[in-house]
Every structure is written in C-alpha cells, then in structure tokens.
Amino acid sequence: MEKFDKLTGIAAPLDIINVDTDMIIPKQFLKTIQRSGLGKNLFDEMRYTPEGDEIADFVLNQPAYRSAEILVAGDNFGCGSSREHAPWALLDFGIRCVIAPSFADIFYNNCFKNGILPIVLPQADVDKLMDDAKRGANATVSIDLESQTIKGPDGGEIAFEVDAFRKQCLMQGLDDIGLTLQKATAIDDYEATLDAQAWR
C-alpha cells in the first residue's frame, strides 16, 4: 500500500449527500477482483450516458477536476452495500483523500485499508472547503497527516482528528497484509515449533 503523509492536489466538489457505494462503483463492475482498472467506471452512471458518452457537467468530467486527488463530499458518504471495490475505484482514479461531514462505517474502514484518508469535519468546515473546491484548477488543497491539518487555497488551516493506529498505518503504508508481515519472524518461529512437535 502506498504511504500517505502529505498530499497537495486539486479538490473536486461533489455536493451530494448519501452517495452510496452503488453510485461510486455500480454493481455490474464488481465481477473483478483486480484493484486496478476500476477508475474509468468511478461514478459511472453520473459520468456517462447509457451510450457511453461523457456527461459534460459532471464534476470529474470537467477539465479542472480530471486530475483531482481530493474529493469534498456531502454527508453520509459511502453508504449502502459493503463493497471494497468502492475505495478501489476512487484510488484507481487518483483520489487519495475524501472529506465529508460523515461516512458509512464499512466504507470508512475500507478507505484506511486501501491507502485513502477519509476525513470527517464539521459541516461548516466542509462548506468552506466545498466553496474552495469550486474554484476549479485554483482549488489546490494541502493535507498534512502528521500534523493533522488541511490548508486551503487561501492559506486558511483546518485541523482534523484521526485514530492514532490508522494514522500510523497510512503513514507507513501498512494494510492488513503488511501488518501481518511485520510479525513474519514470530510466525515462522511458531510454525517451526509446530513442525518440530509434530515429529516427536
């Protein structure tokens, strides 16, 4: 998993509440177990017509936001069915951070496990960042995970909270497999002990 420490990038405004996982990545794209390739189908039904043409006024189709790395969204982001493909699609598109007033629990947890930083902020702070994001290509936002701060394009700073263990995992690039591999020596020793006992 890629480490997350500091991120400076374009913030895209998605001023919609209750964005569910089927909106993030529709069910017809869940057949794959590959983490890559899903970015082109992120928000598929909002980004494309049934014929496959881009919908020009959808935020991620607008030239200023095609390379967005931060998403500023409405309340209850990631609700609906549990699907790890949702953070996979966001990450494959290039989104490394989602900022919202609240998240669905399973989606929130899946973000950390896949290298995305979900930030919960009061509505007033989200509204400010949403306004900043609507500046288009000038909507550069900087996120410092170590200091737990967000700096907007005007230089204003917002503090955010994050669980200390999850913060450490993101900063070190450790997903569940990475955490397990840190104990590889102890696991090998344990298995060697079991093997030795089996031959007695």
3-state SS class at 19 = coil
CATH number for 58: 3.20.19.10
Residue 176's pLDDT is: 61
The tally of domains found in the chain comes to 1
10 Å CB burial of residue 86 (0-12, 13-18, 19+) is: buried
List Cβ<8 Å contacts ≥24 apart for 173-180. Answer: 173/1, 173/2, 173/3, 173/4, 173/115, 174/1, 175/1, 175/113, 175/114, 175/115, 176/113, 178/1
- Provide the residue range defining the domain that includes 105: 6-174
Q: Would residue 192 count as lying in a domain? A: no
Domain annotation covers residue 18: yes
What pLDDT does 190 receive?
59
Residue 182 lies in a domain: no
Residue 102 in any domain: the answer is yes
77 inside domain: yes
- pTM score: 0.88
Each of the 200 residues of the chain gets a pLDDT tens digit; together they read: 899 999 999 999 999 999 999 999 999 998 877 778 999 999 999 999 999 999 999 999 999 999 999 999 999 999 998 889 999 999 999 999 999 999 999 999 999 999 999 999 999 999 999 999 998 877 799 999 999 999 999 889 999 999 999 999 999 998 765 555 555 565 655 565 666 676 66
